[in-house]
Amino acid sequence: MTAKSSAGNTIPRHVAIIMDGNGRWAKKRMWNRLRGHREGAESVDVVTEAARTAGVEYLTLYAFSTENWSRPADEVNGLWALLEEFLEKKREKLVRNRIRLHFIGHLEHLPAGVRKKALEVKRATEEHGWDMTLTLALSYGARDEITCAAREIARMVERGEITANDISESAISAHLFTAGIPDPDLVIRTSGELRVSNFLLWQSAYAEYYFTETLWPDFREKEFLDALRAYAGRHRRFGRTGDQVKE
Ligand code: FPP
């Protein structure tokens, strides 16, 4: 599950982040919320690089939830425009740094141009080898993900391909958007909110959580390394006793 970094710490294989606080960051400066999202996109770039350098293999970012569709149209449109710009600008860097781009969520709900750009950049990053997978959760909600998986599995039962007894935890995992990606070891949420907000509910069953007051646009390399250090100090037991873990 974990590896040792050159710094000697235990590095989580998969880090997932609920990026929160862009709006408050902008409000404090009496700026438009979109300026907060723009600065947040800069944090995405910096944290991606920091994660790759630290030896994290999977970084998953909650960029747009199913609930975010209910925000004002200007903000929603601004976020998609920002994402499209980010993907175009960072394409070469992702390829050069051997970072594969991946998506979870309902990409089919995105504006056509953004979806096209997303798939184009994803393909470009898949052409060569990669050391890290950057997954963006877009139009994503965990309850919806589990519901879709249940529906797919029910259809398999209806078609007689499997029986109800074949439905195992691994069968459910294999039907989630995250199929093939290991469960997160560490989930970070910024901005002082102590909620999981419908993010990777199934996959985070044994994850360590790290909450920080820092607003996402201020969350940069130092803050990310602080989170990794906190993780390295945790004792993960996966339901076992402390003595069993030491053995
Ligand atoms: C939460 O802050 C953040 C979002 C809903 C969007 C996240 C988007 C980015 C970080 C920028 C673009 C993303 C990429 C991948 C380039 P909030 O708006 O809820 O902040 P608030 O709680 O302070 O209002």
Whether the pLDDT of residue 3 is over 70: the answer is no
Neighbouring CB atoms inside 10 A of 170's CB total 7
CA distance 177 to 185: 17
Sign, CA dihedral 214-195-79-70, equals negative
* Nearest CA residue ID for atom 15, ligand 1: 63
Give distance in angstroms: CA of 216 to centre of ligand 1.
8
Closest CA to 231 of 206, 213, 194: 206
pLDDT at residue 5 in the model:
43
Assigned domain for 240 exists: no
Token pair recorded at residue 161: 């391909």
Whether the pLDDT of residue 9 is over 80: the answer is no
pLDDT at residue 235 in the model:
77
The pTM is what? 0.94
pLDDT at residue 128 in the model:
85
Assigned domain for 7 exists: yes
Give distance in angstroms: CA of 20 to centre of ligand 1.
6
Q: Is residue 21 in contact with ligand 1, taking CB distance under 6 Å?
A: yes
Assigned domain for 229 exists: yes
Instruction: Please check whether residue 94 is in contact with residue 132, taking contact to mean a CB–CB distance below 8 angstroms.
Output: no
Mean pLDDT along residues 66-84: 98
What range does the domain containing 73 cover? Answer: 3-233
Give distance in angstroms: CA of 137 to centre of ligand 1.
12
Per-residue H/E/C for 55-121: CCCEEEEEEEEHHHHHCCHHHHHHHHHHHHHHHHHHHHHHHHCCEEEEEECCHHHCCHHHHHHHHHH
pLDDT at residue 6 in the model:
39
Assigned domain for 223 exists: yes
Q: Which amino acid is at 164?
A: A
Assigned domain for 86 exists: yes
Total tally of structural domains belonging to the chain: 1
The tally of CA atoms less than 13 A away on the side-chain side of residue 207 is 25
Q: Which residues pair with 6 in a beta bridge?
A: none
Q: What digits encode the pLDDT tens for the residues 132-149?
A: 999 999 999 999 999 999
pLDDT at residue 53 in the model:
98
Per the model's pLDDT, the better-predicted residue between 47 and 7 turns out to be: 47
pLDDT at residue 7 in the model:
39
Whether the pLDDT of residue 84 is over 70: the answer is yes
What is the layout of strands, in order, in the sheet containing 14-18? Answer: 99-104, 132-140, 58-65, 14-18, 186-189, 208-211
Give how far the C-alpha of residue 29 lies from the chain's centroid of Cα atoms, to the nearest Å: 28
CATH of the domain at 57: 3.40.1180.10
Q: Is residue 217 in contact with ligand 1, taking CB distance under 6 Å?
A: no
The closest-lying atom of ligand 1 relative to the alpha carbon of residue 215 is 23
Q: Is 20 a catalytic residue?
A: yes
Q: What digits encode the pLDDT tens for the residues 189-220?
A: 999 999 999 999 999 999 999 999 999 999 99
Q: Which amino acid is at 111?
A: P
